[in-house]
Chains A and B, each alone.
Chain A
Amino acid sequence: MAGLYIHIPLCTQRCSYCDFFSTTLLNKRVELIDALCKEMKMRAHYLPVDGNVLETIYIGGGTPSLLSSSEINILIDCALDSFPHVDTGKMEITMEANPNDLSDSNLKELSGTAINRLSIGCQSFNDTTLKIINRRHNAEEAKNAIANARKYGFNNISIDLIYGLPSQTIDSWKDDVATAIALKPNHISAYCLELHEGSLLTKKISKGELTEMDEADCLTCFKHLREATSASGYEHYEISNFAQKGFRSRHNSSYWHDIPYIGIGPAAHSYDGVSRQWNVSHLPKYLKAISENRLDTEIETLSVTEKYNDYILTALRTSDGIDFQYISNKFGTRFSDLAKEVAAKQQKDGNVEIIGEKCHLTEKGIFISDSIFTEFIVVEE
């Protein structure tokens, strides 16, 4: 199996927490769609041949919901045309959407495309908080968007939430979670705020204009989220992801299970099982390269150690965890022996649980997972 990611780096305004590559150069849109299609043709033979056929397409951003349904159709048709894929009915085709782009008319149009999964960027259901993070929708619009999407036949809906934001409290977060669950999305991605260098929020916090939620409160929010979602039948299957049965994100899961993927568009990353590569994070440079029939991309070929490290920091994010047998087969016993040794020590500290050949993070371990990954990974001198 394999996945395709298409990056639409366009936004009408920037959210204050975001450090993803995007631009407000909306006038480049026609050129962009052409270039994306052309890149798909150029990468038509990117995937290794042995059975790697597309099962998922993910249109992310940026703000893909700024695109018209005909533009979306062009992209999806081109993708299906360029790459081997399973039967379209069996594919998961996701698009990220802003709540206020999901009006009746837009949804009607969207329902005519091949998109069968919507990932809606609600972030919060608190208007004060939404304003602080510079979202262009309000809580009411977010709630309506979900209900409307259902009305137009979308029965695989995911929503994004963020906690740890300035102005948020444990109580306001509990309200957010309750509101979210009441809307019965099939999938919830709930992210603890990360302050990225260069984001507007980081600047405001470092200037003292806004205050970050303290660590202990973030942890309380996280624990509440786990309890509440689990009580409503959601499975906590990755650090920040919760799904009703059968609704895990197939596309994102491929990132955590060492499955190849193709990334199309500026700043998009691709992985063929051996090397990773990423396109230039600059729209005009990207467009220029494609117009000259070349890819402006950097390539990193992974050593065994790096592949092992990648495996640790992705697989251990999931509730399935890492598999010592897999490590031994794929990277060698040097790595599986080390992983077992570290796992045993981490189990003593209550950070992981080992079951047979498998090992996954505990609730305690999840919130300090980066330091646990650091224990497992290997660096060459």
Chain B
Amino acid sequence: MKNIRNFCIIAHIDHGKSTLADRLLEMTKTVTGKDLQAQVLDDMELERERGITIKSHAIQMDYAYTGDKAEFQSKEKYVLNLLDTPGHVDFSYEVSRSIAACEGALLIVDASQGIQAQTISNLYMALEHDLEIIPILNKIDLPGAMPEEVEDQIVDLLGCDRSEVIRASGKTGEGVDEILRAIVERIRPPKGDPDAPLQCLIFDSVFNPFRGIIAYYKVVNGTFHPGEKVKFVATGKEYLADEIGILRLDMEPRKEMSAGNVGYIISGIKTSTEVKVGDTITHVSNPCENAIEGFEEVKPMVYAGVYPIETEDFENLRASMEKLQLNDASLTFQAESSLALGFGFRCGFLGMLHMEIIQERLDREFDMDVITTVPNVRYNVYTKKGEMIEVHNPSGLPDITLIDHIEEPYIRASIITAAEYIGPIMTLCLGKRGELVRQDYVSGNRVELIYNMPLGEIVFDFYDKLKSISKGYASFDYHPSEMRESKLIKLDVLLNGEPVDALSTLTHIDNAYGLGKRMCEKLKELIPRQQFEVAIQAAIGAKIIARETIKAVRKDVTAKCYGGDISRKRKLLEKQKRGKKRMKQIGTVEVPQKAFLEVLKLD
């Protein structure tokens, strides 16, 4: 065990985590040039394209120590387990479980960007778990690098010595050797008792079409072997360990896995929801006394309707969602129906990025063309009879006369930015009903703002706006804090007098008029002109609070159509027809699918 090192990487998006990880794999000859697709760990096409890590990954490296410190000289190679974690706020629970499985972390900071909010919050999480932090200043080869300044930030933040910061470049390979030595020298080997009752911490799972659900874990205590009966504590389910082993570029079976190591288990699990991140695996015959601390049932933060464009694709959509869920247990869905959109699903997501990813995967991997409605959060609605109803869809709200009050989820948000953007950011947060809790100088002119805000206000266009008003120099992180009573009302949208349930939103009473007006204006842009006039109205109950009118098309005619124009004209009309087919008919009005989501992207 003394030759094992388990570590993760904490970094902000684009700070070069995956590239640096690739260098580690190359340097330890875990991958050869032939296998080296750019960024080995991000193996989903989507991950590589977006430059983000969506799923956790783990990979084991063998490393012959090259340093000069006598106490680390060893005949055997060191076993380095890298647990790559998603870098996005939507996945912070998964990150916390990966961190819990490690003894150390590489803190990677882009030398041209400095420390970001997401980095800080994950860093705090790592410090809470008592991880040894190895600070790395990455991308020092960039012309815009400010190594001195960013090093100051790191020293301030960690209270470490300047000499502890390693300067590196994933691109040129500079500093990578030093990082490997530091991993061995600074990170302590895992503790844990190989002879104690078995305790394995699950930090991720993947779906394999031939082998079922494969769980990734760290053995915290104990030892186990293939063929033994194991139990997943939180679900209470028992399985036979068909195959266990370590994770290299591929899975490598082992006859034994014992305390300190990281690996996989295949046990014929068919349903992804049976493998919960944070759960404990133990022996059926000699179970551990307590499960590993920190397990939580992950609850969706954001809900949205997902509907097939063609009604007959409903069953195909269900099959696709089921397959997606195999890979991603955090996705929840439940059939629902909408007057406007027909049959579809109300899906629960961890956050907005998660929602986008699911939508894109449906499109790419399953060729499902779907309509996604405006997302909303979970509301607790208390009726006058004293019952509490959890509402995931504004149109599922009980009649207004039956409602006593509504609670909505609040978050504690951290925004780190340069001082010059504080003004506009505060205005933005105020408009989103944010309450400033604290304002701290992190270092230099970098400020951290802490806000209490309704989650419902940030699920939509908050990120985009924050990015644009700060010219990209603001980072954002949040954690759910509490449910709070709010004066929320349902805002409906009517097209030619017909209410469109899929466009209903819950909003704070103070924002309702402004929102209603802007939604009507936006829909006027989004809905193409039709052969008749279209009235767009926003209403609270029976009261119309805003209206826009789309004028009827008066002229849509090709004046000349002779020999040469026929093919060209046909192609044009066919293209229009295809566009029309992708529209949803609401009453007599044809609405483009994107309108259902973009209606709230207000400027």
> Is there an interface contact between A263 and B577, defined as CB atoms closer than 8 Å?
no
Tell yes or no: B73 within 8 A of A by CB.
Answer: no
Known A261-B563, A374-B576; contact A368-B570, beta-carbon cutoff 8 A: no
A129 to B332: give the CA distance in the assembly, Å.
65
Q: Chain B: which residue is nearest A371 at the CB level?
A: B556
> Is there an interface contact between A192 and B555, defined as CB atoms closer than 8 Å?
yes
Which chain A residues lie closer than 8 Å to B562 at the CB level? 252, 255
Q: Report the minimum CB–CB distance from B555 to chain A (whole Å).
A: 4
> Is there an interface contact between A367 and B556, defined as CB atoms closer than 8 Å?
yes
> Is there an interface contact between A269 and B559, defined as CB atoms closer than 8 Å?
no
A377 to B574: give the CA distance in the assembly, Å.
7
> Is there an interface contact between B570 and A306, defined as CB atoms closer than 8 Å?
yes
Tell yes or no: B531 within 8 A of A by CB.
Answer: yes
Stretch of A64-72, A105-113, A214-222 on the interface side: A214-222
> Is there an interface contact between A370 and B567, defined as CB atoms closer than 8 Å?
no
A26 to B491: give the CA distance in the assembly, Å.
67
Contact of A255 among B559, B561, B578 (CB under 8 A): B561
> Is there an interface contact between B566 and A276, defined as CB atoms closer than 8 Å?
yes
> Is there an interface contact between A309 and B574, defined as CB atoms closer than 8 Å?
yes
> Is there an interface contact between B580 and A314, defined as CB atoms closer than 8 Å?
no
Which chain B residues lie closer than 8 Å to A351 at the CB level? 531
Tell yes or no: A317 within 8 A of B by CB.
Answer: yes
> Is there an interface contact between B573 and A373, defined as CB atoms closer than 8 Å?
yes
Which parts of B381-425 form the interface with A (CB within 8 Å)?
none
> Is there an interface contact between B531 and A367, defined as CB atoms closer than 8 Å?
no
Q: Report the minimum CB–CB distance from B308 to chain A (whole Å).
A: 15
> Is there an interface contact between A194 and B554, defined as CB atoms closer than 8 Å?
no
> Is there an interface contact between B566 and A374, defined as CB atoms closer than 8 Å?
no
Tell yes or no: A242 within 8 A of B by CB.
Answer: no
> Is there an interface contact between B563 and A269, defined as CB atoms closer than 8 Å?
yes
Q: Chain A: which residue is nearest B558 at the CB level?
A: A370
Contact of B567 among A261, A278, A349 (CB under 8 A): A278
Tell yes or no: A98 within 8 A of B by CB.
Answer: no
Which chain A residues lie closer than 8 Å to B531 at the CB level? 349, 351, 368, 371
> Is there an interface contact between B560 and A194, defined as CB atoms closer than 8 Å?
yes
> Is there an interface contact between A369 and B557, defined as CB atoms closer than 8 Å?
yes
Tell yes or no: B50 within 8 A of A by CB.
Answer: no
Q: Chain B: which residue is nearest A238 at the CB level?
A: B561
Of A191, A192, A369, A374, most B-chain CB atoms within 10 Å: A374
> Is there an interface contact between B556 and A370, defined as CB atoms closer than 8 Å?
yes
Q: Report the minimum CB–CB distance from A272 to chain B (whole Å).
A: 12
Contact of B573 among A192, A219, A252, A370 (CB under 8 A): A370
Q: Report the minimum CB–CB distance from A305 to chain B (whole Å).
A: 9
Contact of B564 among A267, A309, A310 (CB under 8 A): A267
Which parts of B552-603 form the interface with A (CB within 8 Å)?
553-564, 566-567, 569-570, 573-574, 576-578, 580-581
Contact of A194 among B558, B567, B580 (CB under 8 A): B558
Majority-rule SS of A interface residues: mixed
A192 to B566: give the CA distance in the assembly, Å.
18
Q: CB-CB contacts of A188-201 with B at 8 A, as 1s and 0s? A: 00011110000000
Q: Chain B: which residue is nearest A3 at the CB level?
A: B563
Known A309-B574, A373-B573; contact A192-B567, beta-carbon cutoff 8 A: no
> Is there an interface contact between B554 and A368, defined as CB atoms closer than 8 Å?
yes
Tell yes or no: A239 within 8 A of B by CB.
Answer: yes
A66 to B558: give the CA distance in the assembly, Å.
28
Tell yes or no: A35 within 8 A of B by CB.
Answer: no
Which chain A residues lie closer than 8 Å to B555 at the CB level? 192, 215, 218-219, 367-368
Which chain B residues lie closer than 8 Å to A368 at the CB level? 531, 553-557
Which chain B residues lie closer than 8 Å to A269 at the CB level? 563-564, 566-567
> Is there an interface contact between B559 and A379, defined as CB atoms closer than 8 Å?
no
Contact of B559 among A194, A252, A371, A378 (CB under 8 A): A194
> Is there an interface contact between A278 and B564, defined as CB atoms closer than 8 Å?
yes
A270 to B557: give the CA distance in the assembly, Å.
24
Q: Report the minimum CB–CB distance from B532 to chain A (whole Å).
A: 8
Which chain A residues lie closer than 8 Å to B574 at the CB level? 309, 377, 379
Q: Report the minimum CB–CB distance from A158 to chain B (whole Å).
A: 13
> Is there an interface contact between A379 and B558, defined as CB atoms closer than 8 Å?
no
A181 to B580: give the CA distance in the assembly, Å.
41
Tell yes or no: A31 within 8 A of B by CB.
Answer: no
> Is there an interface contact between B558 and A369, defined as CB atoms closer than 8 Å?
yes
Contact of B561 among A192, A278, A314 (CB under 8 A): A314
Tell yes or no: A300 within 8 A of B by CB.
Answer: yes
Which chain A residues lie closer than 8 Å to B559 at the CB level? 191-194, 239-240
Tell yes or no: A37 within 8 A of B by CB.
Answer: no
A314 to B573: give the CA distance in the assembly, Å.
12
Tell yes or no: A125 within 8 A of B by CB.
Answer: no
Tell yes or no: A146 within 8 A of B by CB.
Answer: no
Contact of B569 among A219, A240, A252, A313 (CB under 8 A): A313
> Is there an interface contact between A263 and B561, defined as CB atoms closer than 8 Å?
no
Q: Chain B: which residue is nearest A7 at the CB level?
A: B564
Q: Chain A: which residue is nearest B555 at the CB level?
A: A215
Name 12 interchain pairs, CB-CB below 8 A, sorted by A. Answer: A240-B559, A271-B566, A278-B567, A300-B567, A313-B566, A313-B573, A351-B531, A367-B554, A367-B555, A368-B553, A374-B576, A379-B577
A residues at B contact (CB < 8 Å): 5, 191-194, 215-216, 218-219, 239-240, 252, 255-256, 261, 263, 267-271, 276, 278, 300, 306, 309-310, 313-314, 317, 349, 351, 366-371, 373-374, 377-379
Q: A218-B554, A367-B554, A374-B577 are in contact. List 14 more A-B contacts (CB 8 A).
A: A5-B563, A215-B555, A240-B560, A255-B561, A263-B564, A269-B563, A313-B569, A351-B531, A367-B556, A368-B553, A369-B556, A370-B573, A371-B531, A379-B574
